[in-house]
Chain A
């Protein structure tokens, strides 16, 4: 390691606050770039599941109406 101690690594001769804050902000944004699409995918999967269920209900209703209709 370039630094003699962990304390020196954290402090970085007074520049630690700049380096570590830049790192924390960047890592938070990068984490967002992974979490957000995963949440979007989850949301879309739920929507599609709902869409499929609605279609099934519609089809069942039409079939029931057709079978209940009086034969002429």
Chain B
């Protein structure tokens, strides 16, 4: 079997050049999905029988939470690949994934708090699901902060990768927190093991939004990774050629 594609995938140059072509398509797909999902969910989906219209926050809260959790796996796996195979690009991806994951966790917490007020009568409760999500935010912030605690990139990368891997224990706890503990937070709406508890008219826009958030995550990750590649590879001849050509155009 030819493994050249795997080696090419690890090359910052290959990634930078390929993603240049992917970006316009990815942007169009992301924007379309988010607009369709939001308009569908906020204006066309029926209201919830118990929660009324406040339930529409689900169309932001659930996609942000799902992708924030999946993003943690992306960051930890990228860190593990960096530790094992010392692939430069994987460390760059790990670094790039941290601010996106932190921002999405922040969105999940804030929209959850806003949703909590009309539903539970409180913005915040020290509930198992909410507290474990707050820990996830701190883990993301920790990985981001480690960058500034070491003078060498290599040492910071290793420490960040180890923290990412250790923090992975929190992700299944978040998933199962609503089953393991008595919580105010409602159980998962979409499960792999059983049929969704939502009416299809409400479910479809949610699925569109989740796919849209995954597309957004990919777009933002590619943008962050491209900036990180330039930051680290500034001595590489292909980067110098690229910059010289870019400024010669102007």
| Residues of chain A whose beta carbon lies under 8 Å from any beta carbon of chain B | 1-3, 9, 12-13, 15-16, 18-19, 21-23, 25-26, 29-30, 32-34, 36-38, 40-41, 44-45, 47-49, 51-52
Contact = CB atoms under 8 A, between A and B. Distances in A.
The dominant DSSP class at the A interface is helix
A52 B244 contact: yes
B97 to A, nearest CB: 11
Given A38-B223, A41-B230, A15 B52 contact: yes
A23 B38 contact: yes
Given A13-B52, A26-B107, A45-B230, A37 B220 contact: yes
B175 interface: no
A48 B223 contact: no
Contacts of B214: none
B114 A47 contact: no
The dominant DSSP class at the B interface is helix
Nearest to B43: A1
Interface size class of B (residues with CB under 8 A): 35 or more
A12 B240 CA distance: 55
A41 B226 contact: yes
Interface in B30-70: 38, 42-47, 52-54, 56-57, 60-61, 64
Contacts of A45: 230, 243, 246
Contact of A48 (B52, B60, B111, B240): B240
A19 B239 contact: no
B118 A18 contact: yes
B167 interface: no
B231 interface: yes
Contacts of A25: 107, 110-111, 114
